[in-house]
Amino acid sequence: MAAHNDKGKQGEELALETILAKGYSVLHTNWRFQKTEVDIIAKIGNTLVFLEVKTRSSDYFGLPESFVTEAKKRSFGRASEAYCQLNQLNDADIRYDIMAVIINKKTQVVQHFEDAFFPEFL
């Protein structure tokens, strides 16, 4: 496995630890719909949360959360719609979050951006 894949896995594990510590219930990890992968699907209270985890070794080229593109947001919206239909959750409250993770030899930083975006359906 390539080093960047290992870093991504580490980031996802830290994100999972973070949301579990906050009291979220994790429903799925790495859930796929067509070509879209949702890193984490979780629930807190009555809210279904679709999380995108972005992991970097530094913020030199930009903050991790800035790498969630408009195309990714749209595909997340389609995936969440499909997930709700497949699981008969059509009346669920839905939120889209970003977990930004920086991991290197000196630090591990996890930031959770709740309600980070709302996908535009085009």
Enter the DSSP assignment of 63.
-
Domain ranges of the chain: 3-113
Which residues touch 122 (CB under 8 Å, ≥6 apart)?
Answer: 74
pLDDT value at residue 6: 81
What span, in angstroms and rounded, lies between the C-alpha atoms of 16 and 36?
Answer: 19
- Which tokens hold the place of 69? 């593109």
Helix (H, G, I), strand (E, B) or coil at 36: strand
Helix (H, G, I), strand (E, B) or coil at 6: helix
What span, in angstroms and rounded, lies between the C-alpha atoms of 114 and 89?
Answer: 21
Distance (Å) of CA 19 to CA 41, 50, 64, 91? 11, 12, 18, 23
Residues of the chain with pLDDT under 70: 1-5, 58-60, 62, 64, 121-122
Q: Report the topology of domain 3-113.
A: Trna Endonuclease; Chain: A, domain 1 (3.40.1350)
Please state whether the predicted TM-score (pTM) of the whole model is above 0.85: yes
pLDDT value at residue 118: 86
